[in-house]
Copies of this chain bind each other. A is one copy, B any other.
């Protein structure tokens, strides 16, 4: 019979079990953190009507979309979780409670040119708070506190949540009469970390900006100091523009509230160069950097938008949200070998029976499972050495051996696979002793 070569599409992550265990722990930590702040779960379809999904899209995004016909239906695979959220909120507006706080963790699809560390199928982990008509700025301040909890939960201490406000930027551009060039200027400013100040000036010149206008922009993005000093300097810039003033006020309120939410000063910072390329952000924007691994780029980003679902409804639905691109983040952290995981295996214990009659091994397994310990019985007939090798390869921390001798004496033998240490335990004391071992080592 002819064999088909078993292969996976390029750009699609498919992990080995030991990596998958790490990945799932990261995913679970993110989900638990979102739940801890009271966000509701959502799980929208991966397929949507193209007409609905692409009501707004255009440009680069549209080219990357997986789109096809099935029967007479023009279907697309979702490329983010924000558009499906917009559809969902517009569709269920009458039923939902506002502010609507939802999280969604799911796969999205972009047919990008495959390259190392870029994926065509990847997990996004999003939260958003959607208001009905209005949404207080304090919601913008809760986001950094969630990011703070999240990144700490993932095991990192030295990170910075960078904060900016699009109104400040837009107001600046209005004041130098460059409103029409705003998107383009934002795109250029956004790259200052990558390409440096000189290149930014060069690119601004290409937009036919005057020296004076450019120097205003550069003065602005070069503002330095503590968060409070930056706000002070922003207030003192001679920019007489309503939007600018409003933005500075929002930024000032934000900093106050972020402190209130308990985010330490060292973990957040106003960064006036951050614009987030996307043009739907209208207020606060966030990026998050691991300071020891700046090369990863922002690991958690988001911002405030004035109107989530304008393509579907007349209702004004302002929102604020953040997103983690988990697949890429996992890939990079795994490559650097810096994923902090509590568990390296699913099973806490592998039971190796050395007896024909499995009554006692199964009884032991059942008891352990009932007290919340993941327990596998090695059921197949192999040499003892092969069974230990199996436990070793799967990185199962403990092995229980049950032979004739043990059964006669009503006990089991427990082996710590890391230290090699062996211990005999009475079956009647099993749960207590093993719980102690598992949750103190």
User: Which residues of A approach B to under 8 Å, CB–CB?
Assistant: 1, 3-9, 12-17, 20-21, 23-24, 35-49, 51-52, 55, 66-71, 73, 75, 86-88, 90-92, 95-97, 99, 101-102, 107, 109, 111, 120-121, 131, 135-136, 138-139, 142, 149, 257, 260-262, 309-314, 346-347, 350, 358-359, 362-363, 366, 369, 374-377, 379-381, 389-390, 393-394
Instruction: Say yes or no: A45 contacts B346, CB within 8 Å.
Output: no
Query: How distant is A307 from chain B, measured CB to nearest CB, in Å?
Result: 11
Query: How distant is A376 from chain B, measured CB to nearest CB, in Å?
Result: 3
Instruction: Say yes or no: A46 contacts B107, CB within 8 Å.
Output: yes
Instruction: Say yes or no: A359 contacts B260, CB within 8 Å.
Output: yes
Residues of B within 8 A of A3 (CB): 311-314
A36 to B347, CA, bound (A): 7
A380 to B343, CA, bound (A): 39
The closest CB in chain B to the CB of A45 belongs to B12
Instruction: Say yes or no: A37 contacts B369, CB within 8 Å.
Output: yes
Picked from B8, B36, B41, B359, the residue with its CB within 8 Å of the CB of A91 is B8
Residues of B within 8 A of A5 (CB): 52, 312
The closest CB in chain B to the CB of A91 belongs to B6
Query: How distant is A17 from chain B, measured CB to nearest CB, in Å?
Result: 4
A369 to B33, CA, bound (A): 9
Picked from B16, B39, B347, the residue with its CB within 8 Å of the CB of A346 is B39
Instruction: Say yes or no: B45 contacts A20, CB within 8 Å.
Output: no
A411 to B105, CA, bound (A): 37
Query: How distant is A260 from chain B, measured CB to nearest CB, in Å?
Result: 6
